[in-house]
Structure 1
Amino acid sequence: MGQHRQALRAAALGVAGATLATGSLLGTAPAAHAGTAVRFVDIKGDGGTVLKANVVLPAGADGGRRLPLIVLPTSWGLPQIEYLAQARRLADSGYVVLSYNVRGFWQSGGEIEVAGPPDVADASRVIDWALAHTPADPGHIGIGGVSYGAGISLLAAAHDPRIKAVAALSGWADLIGSIYSGRTQHVQAAALLDVVGTATGRRSAESREVFGDFYRADLADEERLLAWGRKRSATTCLDRLNRNAPAVMLANAWGDSVFPPDQYADFYTRLTGPKRLELRPGDHATAELSGLFGLPNDVWTDTRRWFDHHLRGVDNGVNREQPVRLKSRSTGGYEGYPDWKSVAATSRKIELAGTATVRANGDSGANGGIVLLSSIVDQLVRLPPVASIPLLPRARAAVWQSERYAKAQRVRGSARLHTTVTPTASSGTLVAHLYDVGPLGLGTLVSHAPYTFYGRTPGRSFGVDLELFATAYDVPAGHRLALVVDTVDPLYIEHNPTGARLTFSSPANDPSYVSIPLREQ
């Protein structure tokens, strides 16, 4: 496992380098708009830890008038100037904007706590400082950020009732549900975070230990990992968040390979206060990226509209729009829905008939791509990972296909796999991939998800229910859908002993199928 870990870290270095370069490029942005004032300050966080921050004030902010406050914790590995372009625009609209480097990164003190209790307490200390040293209005406070900043923002809003509005962009509500879904380690995502954190910050002993547990893939460490993740997940303190009732905007990308969109959709459904959910093509934080350079950006435009309405009382119509807003990966158009359950108005089953046995430990060629890179390509040129379905080795992959569709199928939401598995070993991993297959047999990836089992009796069948990651994808008329199930995907750690086999069957009393969620034509 040590060699595997080193290889994964090396593979992550290219993506990590791009992330660090982004942080450097952000520093080339102009310091401020004409009329705005920028101050770089030190703020004492929890336990006296010094947090490096910058304050952007609008012109005329010293006139004695109280102004709404927006706090922006930085993303994982990015410096305090990350949000300067957006902070200027918010300040031009009449906000006091305070962005700070979270503890453990760059020049801020302390160690990386991975959104632990000290990070949550820091957000409140930053608000305290802003109320004491700027014309910030204590009755109109918002918080937001991208990725790490988003996760901290949700947790802070659950613990600090002064926060009235949140914009959580490309973040997580369930940390374990993000990087350990299906009881499977999302190892490329973890390696990326590990490399960036090591290069730009100082990791705490606990975080180093947890990453070690994660890579070792030892079931004995699972409960400790789960407890660590629950403490850092807004789902754990959802009751407190609903009691405080801030207006919460959640935005994410369909292909987010660090924090997949499903955990946001589930969290959104359980929120009871004012709320909005936006999902777009892209990967982790790529939908927001151009806005960090000050370029036109839908996510940041909607973020400003959200804050304007809920902090400044602007009647901009955001409260009258459909609260669930999706952008298709295929057409690029936006769709509005009254709630998440309305996204898939109907469903259609593909029966998984017959029996198929696959050998483990080998990549069939069907996989979810490369963390960050594959979904960025899909976002920019609409080219997801591809596989030739007829050429996939049936000894390594079980394959089922639908009929050719006479009209386009608009897949919306999470496809659901139900099947029966008979293993030759007590533990194992399977990965389900859903493909759009054209006339020549070339499949483009629609969605996928991993699943790992432990403690099963070899030779005894058991049922598997697995939700694939949510998506919005249009299958053209004349194409098929294909479900491919294999045992290896480079995105994940596999738990298949050497020489293991998995048999998929469809008993008469419990037929196997994949249910495809569809939007009505």
Structure 2
Amino acid sequence: MVRSLCVRQVGGRVNRTVPTQRKKPPGWRIVFPRRVTSDNDRRSALPGREPRSLALRHRTQGGAVNPAKSRALTVLLTVVGCVLLSAPGFAQAAVPASTVRDGGSQPIYSFTNAIRETVWVDTGIDGDGDGHTDRVAADIIRPREPAQAGQKIPVIMDASPYYSCCGRGNESQVKTYDAQGRPVGFPLYYDNYFVPRGYAVVLVDLTGTNKSQGCVDVGGRSDIASARAVVDWLNGRAGGYTASSGGSAVRPDWTNGSVGMIGKSYDGTIADGVAATGVAGLRTIVPISAISSWYDYYRSDGASFGSNPDGLARTVESSAASSRCAAVHRRLVSGAAPNGDFTSLWTERDYVLSAGKVRASVFAVHGLGDLNVKTINLGQWWDALAAHNVPRKLWLSQTGHVDPFDYRRAQWVDTLHRWFDHTLLGMDNGIDREPMVDVERHPDAWTTDPVWPPSGTANTVLRPVNGQTPGLGQLGTATPPSGSTATFTDDPQLGEQDWAAQPDSASSARLLYDTGPLAADLRLSGTGTVTVTATPSTSAARLSAVLVDYGPTTIRDYLGNGEGINTLSTKSCWGADRPGDSSCYYDTQTATTDVDLEVFSRGWADLGHYASLASGRTLTPGRAYTMTFRLSTVDHVVPQGHHLALVLAGTDGGEITAPSHPPTITLGLGGTSASLPVVGGAAAVRPEPGVHSAPAVRPDHLPRTTAPVGRLG
């Protein structure tokens, strides 16, 4: 269960216990120390961070806040080492002493009297072709007292297309306004919690959504420019106005220009994209379940997931935009080639290519079971940031597409508070000396690593060797006999759970190779690849590969409706309230399921893109083609006694589109392998000695998929 720290307003303040933290000399930038502990039975384990190479749910209301949940967090921190690093993301202005106590910013400012206003910022782009540059609406809430005292404050910003169409958070909150159009309800808890602590919160409507002008271009130039323009305005480099057209100029003389962007899904994606422009003033980003390359949201190594960006644009755009953005819709359709080619449209929306421009620190969060924004988006972004020495931190959960506020609430709010205090207010609170990464190893049981992937991780090649039963065999470091082959026939009606369900039985639709029971735990951490040498019987072919952990275990039910959580009827409160803007949210608990197998990594490809993603080719039946494609990024331990299996098949019916004539595919096993990120390398792959036996799977212990599919929420 997520243990909620009940934060209640008392005497105009929010009562909260903040851990005492140490001071460091001004100017020192200390990053990524280590702590090696498990918080299996703790309420509070503080996170760490680092690396890698790409649903709407309405809840019924009920119950009151449980005061017993309002307990102080106990923090246990073991510092093993640290690295000194100077980075723009950590260089900040001094903090007014009156806002700081016990190492953290305090809720000393009135939320009731906070200033609420809307500023329309000029993007410099005429996306809808009306002859005028587009303005985007930035709804702002900020404490009144700092401006009156001549103190400048930093900004926490969430730029989103969802503030009117779909809502934010587990309760799908939308913006609300009074009769004069002034902002009243700000979705999520950021304003309730951070405004009393001396931050401004700015919620930006992306172009073409809610009150903003222009068109939605789904992660493209206009989307990114609309959010970047607000960062520029906050730093005096763009124009802001009191109205969407005309109006008086507005100067942000209340801010010091330090901005932190945060958001889940599309919102976090925009944070990635803005950071990749290198805009000055953006100090940190907190992308949650975010896309790093839109190609990898809609496609996978030439295979299509069956949807296109124009559909998303039509979902989120305002009625005004839908009537004037037909040209943008056409470009989204024509640019997203249905054959899976990596076109210029995708290049424009690939932020990984510009990771070298990132000047902000990055605190990334992702669910390892996220089948919406798949973990390859995290992995490739993380690797690119690491290659450019970007200061970074990471949380990896067992959930699907879920915000950490809904699976590790108390610790998340505490960690986010300290992260913003450090990166935006310049406080030395120790968060930069904690471990780089927190990983949920079992439901509600978290471990940490000083770096990620962990030291000693090496790409390890495992190869399939045929067994006595056709289509089944062993997976290991041994080389298969020369000339050995295996054949399957693509069945688009089947998917990963069908392929994995009976590992002891042959199937014409897939090949399955497993290690046998392992003699020791085997940890995979990072992004793997699969290479096949495939001979198709037709002119087009799809390929799928999945890694399966066979053995009894209890996991978060990330395939269930809540994607790893259940929403309760009780609420807990996280900040100050005023009419129309509550700080109270439904509590959640962990949703688990007992299974005998877990598919923990997946990859898909179109064989016609064997030579290049830029241009798919028609295949020659009977000719062999060699192709390497990516698996999703993982951090998974296959326990001692469990089996690790590689399943190879054609179309994954639950994920990718099928060719018009599904082929029979013959694999040359000498040219087929999986390169996996194994902690400890090849020496760590240790099957138990003895006769190889297939894993056992009970029919009533199979994963069941009921999670929402294909919504970027």
TM-score by length of 1: 0.78
Equivalent positions of 1:263-278 (< 5 A) are: 263-271=377-385, 272=388, 273-278=390-395
Indicate the larger mover: 108-117 or 197-206: 197-206
Aligned partner of 2:638 among 447, 470, 475: 475
Deviation readout 1:195-233 (Å, 9 max, x if unpaired): 7437999454355336645887246xx35xx21122123
Give the aligned partner of residue 514 of structure 1.
Answer: 674
Give the aligned partner of residue 205 of structure 1.
Answer: 326
Quote the offset at 1:40 in angstroms.
Answer: 4.2
Q: Structure 1: which amino acid aligns with 2:255?
A: D
Question: Does the C-alpha gap of structure 1 residues 412 and 491 become closer, same or farther in structure 2, counting only changes over 3 Å?
Answer: same
Partners of 1:200 and 1:445 lie apart in 2 by 42
Question: Does the C-alpha gap of structure 1 residues 287 and 419 become closer, same or farther in structure 2, counting only changes over 3 Å?
Answer: same
Indicate if the aligned counterparts of 1:74 and 1:82 stay in contact, CA closer than 8 A.
Answer: no
Q: Could you say what secondary structure the match of 1:43 adopts? A: strand
Deviation readout 1:35-57 (Å, 9 max, x if unpaired): 56251424134255343432222
Q: Structure 1: which amino acid aligns with 2:118?
A: V
Matched, 1:306 2:419: yes
How many pairs align? 467
Aligned partner of 2:361 among 241, 247, 252: 247
Q: Could you say what secondary structure the match of 1:388 adopts? A: coil
Give the aligned partner of residue 600 of structure 2.
Answer: 446
Which sections of structure 1, spanning at least 5 residues, go unmatched? 1-17, 26-31, 369-384
Question: Does the C-alpha gap of structure 1 residues 457 and 298 become closer, same or farther in structure 2, counting only changes over 3 Å?
Answer: farther
Aligned partner of 2:118 among 19, 26, 41: 41
Partners of 1:301 and 1:227 lie apart in 2 by 41
Which sections of structure 2, spanning at least 5 residues, go unmatched? 1-54, 62-108, 125-132, 168-173, 176-184, 236-249, 467-483, 554-594, 609-616, 685-713
Quote the offset at 1:274 in angstroms.
Answer: 2.0
Partners of 1:387 and 1:207 lie apart in 2 by 44
Indicate if the aligned counterparts of 1:73 and 1:149 stay in contact, CA closer than 8 A.
Answer: yes
Quote the offset at 1:312 in angstroms.
Answer: 0.7
Partners of 2:425 and 2:228 lie apart in 1 by 21
Deviation readout 1:92-124 (Å, 9 max, x if unpaired): 221111112222223433321212222222224
Greater per-residue helix proportion: 1
Q: Structure 2: which amino acid aligns with 1:335?
A: T
Equivalent positions of 1:178-189 (< 5 A) are: 178-187=297-306
Indicate if the aligned counterparts of 2:511 and 2:648 stay in contact, CA closer than 8 A.
Answer: yes
TM-score by length of 2: 0.58
Question: Does the C-alpha gap of structure 1 residues 154 and 438 become closer, same or farther in structure 2, counting only changes over 3 Å?
Answer: closer
Aligned partner of 1:51 among 130, 136, 139: 136
Q: Could you say what secondary structure the match of 2:623 adopts? A: coil
Indicate the larger mover: 147-156 or 188-197: 188-197
**Larger RCO (alpha carbons 8 Å, 6+ apart):** 2
Matched, 1:145 2:275: no
Partners of 1:187 and 1:334 lie apart in 2 by 36
Equivalent positions of 1:51-450 (< 5 A) are: 51-58=136-143, 60-61=145-146, 62-74=148-160, 76=162, 77-78=166-167, 79-80=174-175, 83-130=187-234, 132-157=250-275, 158-187=277-306, 193=312, 196-197=315-316, 202=321, 204-205=325-326, 208-209=329-330, 212=333, 217-218=338-339, 222=341, 226-241=343-358, 245-271=359-385, 272=388, 273-284=390-401, 286-288=402-404, 290=406, 296=409, 298-328=411-441, 332-340=445-453, 342=455, 344=457, 347=460, 349-353=462-466, 354-367=484-497, 387-391=501-505, 394-438=507-551, 442-450=596-604
Q: Structure 1: which amino acid aligns with 2:598?
A: T
Quote the offset at 1:502 in angstroms.
Answer: 0.6
Quote the offset at 1:423 in angstroms.
Answer: 1.0
Superposed CA RMSD in Å reads: 3.6
Q: Structure 1: which amino acid aligns with 2:431?
A: V
Indicate if the aligned counterparts of 1:268 and 1:277 stay in contact, CA closer than 8 A.
Answer: no
Quote the offset at 1:21 in angstroms.
Answer: 4.2
Partners of 1:175 and 1:463 lie apart in 2 by 26
Q: Could you say what secondary structure the match of 1:258 adopts? A: coil
Question: Does the C-alpha gap of structure 1 residues 38 and 347 become closer, same or farther in structure 2, counting only changes over 3 Å?
Answer: farther
Indicate if the aligned counterparts of 2:259 and 2:282 stay in contact, CA closer than 8 A.
Answer: yes
Q: Could you say what secondary structure the match of 2:546 adopts? A: strand
Q: Structure 2: which amino acid aligns with 1:425?
A: T
Partners of 1:114 and 1:405 lie apart in 2 by 45
Partners of 1:263 and 1:159 lie apart in 2 by 20
Partners of 1:344 and 1:338 lie apart in 2 by 11
Indicate if the aligned counterparts of 2:290 and 2:377 stay in contact, CA closer than 8 A.
Answer: no
Quote the offset at 1:317 in angstroms.
Answer: 1.4
Question: Does the C-alpha gap of structure 1 residues 260 and 439 become closer, same or farther in structure 2, counting only changes over 3 Å?
Answer: closer
Partners of 1:124 and 1:190 lie apart in 2 by 21
Quote the offset at 1:323 in angstroms.
Answer: 2.5
Q: Structure 1: which amino acid aligns with 2:143?
A: P
Question: Does the C-alpha gap of structure 1 residues 154 and 363 become closer, same or farther in structure 2, counting only changes over 3 Å?
Answer: same
Matched, 1:19 2:96: no
Deviation readout 1:234-281 (Å, 9 max, x if unpaired): 22333332xxx2222222221222332233222223323322233222
Q: Structure 2: which amino acid aligns with 1:186?
A: F
Matched, 1:461 2:624: yes
Q: Could you say what secondary structure the match of 1:319 adopts? A: helix
Quote the offset at 1:517 in angstroms.
Answer: 3.1
Q: Could you say what secondary structure the match of 1:328 adopts? A: strand
Indicate if the aligned counterparts of 2:371 and 2:400 stay in contact, CA closer than 8 A.
Answer: yes
Q: Could you say what secondary structure the match of 1:362 adopts? A: coil
Indicate if the aligned counterparts of 1:96 and 1:136 stay in contact, CA closer than 8 A.
Answer: no
Deviation readout 1:291-337 (Å, 9 max, x if unpaired): 9xxx9254554333222112111112121123344333567313223
Deviation readout 1:137-179 (Å, 9 max, x if unpaired): 3342222222222222232232521222222222122221333
Partners of 1:449 and 1:251 lie apart in 2 by 21
Partners of 1:187 and 1:343 lie apart in 2 by 38
Indicate if the aligned counterparts of 1:46 and 1:122 stay in contact, CA closer than 8 A.
Answer: yes
Q: Could you say what secondary structure the match of 1:311 adopts? A: helix
Partners of 1:240 and 1:170 lie apart in 2 by 21
Give the aligned partner of residue 558 of structure 2.
Answer: none
Q: Could you say what secondary structure the match of 1:168 adopts? A: strand
Q: Could you say what secondary structure the match of 2:417 adopts? A: helix
- Give the % identical residues: 21
Question: Does the C-alpha gap of structure 1 residues 466 and 156 become closer, same or farther in structure 2, counting only changes over 3 Å?
Answer: closer
Question: Does the C-alpha gap of structure 1 residues 212 and 343 become closer, same or farther in structure 2, counting only changes over 3 Å?
Answer: farther
Indicate the larger mover: 318-327 or 95-104: 318-327
